[in-house]
Amino acid sequence: QVHLVESGGGLVQAGGSLRLSCAASGRTFSSYAMGWFRQAPGKEREFVGYISWSGSTTYYSNSVKGRFTISRDNAKNTVDLQMNSLKPEDTAVYYCAAEIGSGLLTRSNDYSYWGQGTQVTVSS
């Protein structure tokens, strides 16, 4: 089992950057694939990006590709989401999620463990 806590959210102007971090408890963090999702008010939760357990594979939604980067440090039990060139439409609560195993995971239902979320607001 793994417990996830996100941090790093806040208010930023359009074109700016933020770095979100997800800290995980548990001794087997390196066994988990990690995902980032977001949910804007009145909208469904949306896939943002994925990183494999080893960090060797990443995958992004078209809406963030080229602007966002996911990385992980298995020694520190953390996974980060670097967000550049932010747009007002990136405003949402951002969640990290974890699931044991391999394979590309892009759906909310693919993940068993979730953090509480962190708010990102991008002003125009």
Q: What average pLDDT does the segment 108-119 reach?
A: 96
Give the Cβ contact number of residue 123 at 10 Å: 11
pLDDT at 108 over 80: yes
The residue ranking higher by pLDDT, 102 or 73, is 73
The residue ranking higher by pLDDT, 101 or 53, is 53
Q: Please, which residues have CB within 8 angstroms of residue 79's CB and are 6 or more apart in sequence? A: 21, 22, 24, 34, 36, 51, 70, 71, 72, 73, 96
Please name the residue that has the structure tokens 């930023």: 12
pLDDT at 103 over 90: no
Task: Write the pLDDT tens digit of every residue in 36-84.
Answer: 999 999 999 999 999 999 999 999 999 999 999 999 999 999 999 999 9
pLDDT at 27 over 80: no
